[in-house]
């Protein structure tokens, strides 16, 4: 176990859980300050509930049973009154519950004494410093916006017979299916290719978010950082247990996302690490998503044949076309 990473994540989870709880308490207090009648009803509810519980313990004779029934009727009436008052201000009891990130473990990190997938993912994030994966709160299938893609066909400009909108619609469907088929041996890996600002990283984040939601473990890393890390590890003399685990995870996680392939400066050590990743993961049927500005022809030119041949055989190539969304956004904000 990566004890230092584990302890760090454990601490973060405690803090996160306490925040959720104190937020919930503060929210309730504010609502009560503005609606004192609610607090009064709750006090009554608590008193009657306590009486009722006591009376249940000692309900040996008939008169007690009658008393008990009366209390229960009263309790029901108070609860209805409370819910009604809440409804008038647009709330339900659920709004007073803490808002945990993970509904499976309520941010405890454990379910039935087993580590929750959210905790495992957080340990991966922590050891890989995956800053990009924190974006999945904003970049996911729910926030995906088709509005940036033109519905106009222009074969001369885009080089395909479809509009960018039709094209991205198809790719989005492939991406969604992929995120739900990580264990399926018949599912191919994905290669996103296309020029800058067309939404490749965005869609990669959508897939990561969807996979994590299903309890899958995901590593996201850009090619230059990933390959540097791997080569450093290879040449390191004294490897710690946690370094070894981190390295092994690259081959083991359910989904490995390598972003910006082609921006790294290659050398033979990096070629062999890249080949090692592709080969090992393909053999183990572990899915890979690669995103690049290079065209398949450029990949063929810049990488070795044994690497290129794997892209052709085992990857579904998704070609992004359209306008640079970064520029579109800039224009829109002016
Ligand atoms: N479908 C989408 N809906 C909303 N915003 C999007 C969408 N796709 C991309 N964006 C936004 O557009 C910008 C560029 O997208 P992104 O970073 O994914 O492009 P890219 O293809 O990865 O570019 P590069 O090749 O330079 O890495 C980002 O700010 C991103 O949030
Ligand atoms: Mg990108
Ligand atoms: Zn959890």
87 in contact with ligand 1, CB cutoff 6 A: no
Residue 296: both structure tokens together: 């398949």
Check pocket membership of 199 for ligand 1, CB cut-off 6 A.
Answer: yes
Q: Please, which residues have CB less than 5 A from ligand 3, an ion? A: 102, 104-105, 116, 118
Residue 128 contacts residue 252 (beta carbons within 8 Å): no
Band of pLDDT at residue 59, cut at 50, 70 and 90: low
Q: What is the pLDDT of residues 82-116, one digit of tens each?
A: 999 999 999 999 999 999 999 999 999 999 999 99
For residues 126 and 8, the answer to whether their CB atoms sit within 8 Å is: yes
C-beta of 262 in contact with ligand 1 (< 6 A):
no
Please write the tens of the pLDDT for every residue from 252-282: 999 999 999 999 888 889 999 999 999 999 9
Q: Ligand 1, closest atom to CA 198?
A: 21
CA 101 to CA 116: how far, in whole Å?
A: 12
Mean predicted confidence (pLDDT) in 201-226: 95
Helical H runs in 129-199? Answer: 155-158, 164-179
Mean pLDDT of 155-160: 92
Q: How far apart are CA 233 and CA 150, in angstroms?
A: 45
Q: What is the pTM of this model?
A: 0.83
Q: What is the pLDDT of residues 15-54, one digit of tens each?
A: 999 999 999 999 999 999 999 999 999 999 999 999 888 8
Report whether pLDDT(136) > 90.
Answer: no
Verify whether ligand 1 is closer than 6 Å to residue 192 (CB atom): no
Nearest bound ligand to CA 112? Answer: 3
Ligand 1 binding pocket includes 80 (Cβ within 6 Å): no
Taking the CA atoms of 223, 226, 232 and 233 in sequence, report the sign of the dihedral they define.
Answer: negative
- Measured CA to CA, the distance from residue 87 to residue 31 in angstroms comes to 12
For residue 145, give the ligand 1 atom closest to its CA: 3
Q: Which ligand 1 atom is nearest residue 320's CA?
A: 21
CA of 109 to the centre of ligand 3 (A): 5
Q: List pLDDT tens digits, range 278-314.
A: 999 999 999 999 999 999 889 988 888 888 888 888 9
Mean per-residue pLDDT of the chain? 92
């Amino acid at each position: 176990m990566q004890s230092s990473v584990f302890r760090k994540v454990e601490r973060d989870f405690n803090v996160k859980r306490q925040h959720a709880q104190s937020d919930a308490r503060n929210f309730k207090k504010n609502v009560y300050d503005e609606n004192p009648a609610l607090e009064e009803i709750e006090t009554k509810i608590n008193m009657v509930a306590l009486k009722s519980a006591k009376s249940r313990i000692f309900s040996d004779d008939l008169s007690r049973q009658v008393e008990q029934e009366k209390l229960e009727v009263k309790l029901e009436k108070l609860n209805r009154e409370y819910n009604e008052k809440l409804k008038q201000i647009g709330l339900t009891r659920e709004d007073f519950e803490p808002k945990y990130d993970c509904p499976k473990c309520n941010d405890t990190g454990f379910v039935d004494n087993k580590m929750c997938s959210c905790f495992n993912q957080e340990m991966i994030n922590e050891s890989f410093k995956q800053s990009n994966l924190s974006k999945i709160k904003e970049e996911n299938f729910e926030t995906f916006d088709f509005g940036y893609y033109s519905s106009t066909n222009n074969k001369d400009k885009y080089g395909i017979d479809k509009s960018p909108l039709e094209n991205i619609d198809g790719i989005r469907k492939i991406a969604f299916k992929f995120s739900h088929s990580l264990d399926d041996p018949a599912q191919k890996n994905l290669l996103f290719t296309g020029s800058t600002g067309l939404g490749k990283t965005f869609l990669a984040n959508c897939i990561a978010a969807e996979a994590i939601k299903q309890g899958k473990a995901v590593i996201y890393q850009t090619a230059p950082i990933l390959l540097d890390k791997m080569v450093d590890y290879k040449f390191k003399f004294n490897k710690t247990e946690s370094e070894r685990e981190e390295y092994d995870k690259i081959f083991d996680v359910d989904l490995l996302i390598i972003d910006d392939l082609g921006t790294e400066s290659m050398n033979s050590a990096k070629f062999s690490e890249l080949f090692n990743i592709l080969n090992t993961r393909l053999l183990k049927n572990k899915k890979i998503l690669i995103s690049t500005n290079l065209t398949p022809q450029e990949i063929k030119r810049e990488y070795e044949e044994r690497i290129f041949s794997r892209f052709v055989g085992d990857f579904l190539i998704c070609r992004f076309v359209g306008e640079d969304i970064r520029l579109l956004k800039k224009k829109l904000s002016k």
